[in-house]
Amino acid sequence: MQVIARAAEVLRALEGSDQGLSLGQLARQLNLPKSTVQRIVAALDRENFVIAATPQSGVRLGPALSRIARSVRFGLVEIAHPSLEELAARTGETVDLAIIKGAEAIFIDHIEGQQRLRAVSALGVSFPLHCSANGKAMLSILGDDAIERLNKRFKLTRFTPNSIVSWKELEEQIEAVRKTGIAYDIEEHTLGMCAVGVPIVGPEGEIAAISVPTPSVRFEEKREELEAALRDCRKTLEERIGRV
């Protein structure tokens, strides 16, 4: 299990590095012995998960990963992506699409914002449901029985002074989302970052949410704009899903 975890760390470290990284750079970044990194990279290289970048730059992600990625297709992502791009262009902010898994929101699509100061995320990143806009949006779709089961299984962890740590308060917020269709994260997961989100049901019944994370310094002035843009995005996406 440790070897698999370390191999995943190497692949994540290489993500977005078109020029590649040397073994020494990987070892420093991952805080691992260079010999360990060398063994992992050699194994990944045999499977074409990494390939040589240049003699000076070490390795970069390989073609085998592209083949695997193409075989893993989310119908919801394919349908929703144009709407996410429209939303990102309209707001200038980062846009995320997430699905629910256990007590977490898993990002399955992401459009990076155009602002210099912007939220940064990545595919596969997870956020807790109770203190994220996309999480609370998805909870609003669940029935009371499902939420009660979560209550018995998961602890509400405090990430910032604003995090919800009371199930009573969380249930009140879920009910508010059901009435308004809008969920918020007001520096509940990360100080300095707010978000607004809306729930969506995918073509296969997937429980999902679209969210727009925004630095707190401009959230309040853009709040109404983001809400309106998200409502329009949700309406357009629901129409697209209805035509599938």
Q: Which residues of 71-90 are buried (b: 16+ CB within 10 A; e: fewer)?
A: eeebebbebbeebbebbbeb
pLDDT of 137 strictly over 90: yes
- The model's pLDDT over 62-85, given as tens digits with 9 standing for 90+, comes to 877 766 665 554 588 888 999 999
What is the average pLDDT across 89-118? 85
pLDDT of residue 122: 64
In this predicted model, which residue has the larger pLDDT, 158 or 16? 158
Residues 144 and 226 in one domain: yes
- 12 and 87 fall within a common domain: no
| 173 and 87 within one domain | yes
Q: Residues of the chain with pLDDT > 70: what percent?
A: 89
Query: Model's pTM, two decimal places?
Result: 0.68
Whether 13 contacts 26, CB under 8 Å: yes
**213 and 134, same domain (yes or no):** yes
Do 180 and 212 have their domain in common?
A: yes
Q: State pLDDT tens for residues 13-51.
A: 887 666 788 888 888 888 889 899 889 988 988 888 888
Q: What is the pLDDT of residues 179-223, one digit of tens each?
A: 999 999 999 999 999 999 999 998 888 899 999 999 999 999 999
Same domain, 37 and 95: no
Q: What domain range includes position 179? A: 75-242
Tell which residue, 108, 93, 129, has the closest CA to residue 213.
93
pLDDT of res. 181: 94
Q: How many whole angstroms separate alpha carbon 99 and alpha carbon 199?
A: 10
| Count of domains forming the chain | 2
Give yes or no: residues 29 and 139 share one domain: no
Q: Same domain, yes or no, for 25 and 102?
A: no
The pLDDT assigned to 68 comes to 65
- Which CATH number belongs to the domain containing residue 183 in this structure? 3.30.450.40
At a CB cut-off of 8 Å and minimum separation 6, what does 225 contact? 91
